Chains A and B, each alone.
Chain A
Amino acid sequence: AQTVTQSQPEMSVQEAETVTLSCTYDTSESDYYLFWYKQPPSRQMILVIRQEAYKQQNATENRFSVNFQKAAKSFSLKISDSQLGDAAMYFCAYRSNTGKLIFGQGTTLQVKP
């Protein structure tokens, strides 16, 4: 079975600075997708960024980028120029061929003004 691990329950960053959230996963599949979701206090799940496992190039979406290391099964999220609105809980997620998403434990990000 696949597992997703986020080892940082809480992280803090100064506004305008850069922060990296860690995520590792375990799978025997070769084809899969990885995602980062943001969950603000409203609890709405918001897609931040996605990565196809077959692509070597790291995904980037504006201030958000990932460091995907397939061999190490690592998928970290980097947030540049952090903004107050980035404060939320962030979930790393793995999607298998069955389509279901498996989430990590989550990391609560605090952004200090």
Chain B
Amino acid sequence: GAVVSQHPSWVICKSGTSVKIECRSLDFQATTMFWYRQFPKQSLMLMATSNEGSKATYEQGVEKDKFLINHASLTLSTLTVTSAHPEDSSFYICSARDLGRMNNSPLHFGNGTRLTVT
């Protein structure tokens, strides 16, 4: 079945540094990937839609200069949290849909990245 790999699974960084999270579709192509953030015991909030070969589309309230998204190929999207602060500590999840399947195919999710900013 379709697999989305997300790396790293967890990361601890110091305040002010930047962290890059990778999302790869392992056995399918995805022109579009989605990045979500989830705080403990809360829902997944869509941050942005990552589009291969073009600029990402950010949801209202999400700072595009702070959360840089790059989707350079049909199988890889990256999210960089720049100048991280403790309030950026959260669980980040990416997802993608298999282009080669029917329109009703579900999104496939990565295992998530737990970011802790100290």
Which A residues lie at the B interface, using CB under 8 A?
33, 35, 42-45, 47, 50, 52, 89, 91, 95, 98-106, 108
Contacts and interface: CB of A to CB of B under 8 A. Distances in A.
Contacts of B95: 45, 101
B106 A91 contact: no
B25 interface: no
- Assign chain B's interface to a size class: 20 to 34
A100 B44 contact: no
> Ordered nearest first, which 8 A-B pairs have the shortest CB separation?
A45-B109, A103-B43, A103-B44, A47-B106, A105-B43, A106-B43, A43-B112, A44-B111
10 contacts: A35-B106, A44-B111, A45-B95, A52-B104, A89-B41, A100-B34, A101-B44, A104-B43, A106-B41, A108-B41
B112 A33 contact: no
B49 interface: yes
B29 to A, nearest CB: 14
A100 B104 contact: no
Q: Is the interface of A mostly helix, strand, loop or mixed?
A: strand
Interface string B34-76: 1000100111111001000000000000000000000000000
Contacts of A35: 106
Contact of B46 (A43, A45, A101, A106): A101
Contacts of B34: 99-101
B12 interface: no
A29 B27 CA distance: 32
B11 interface: no
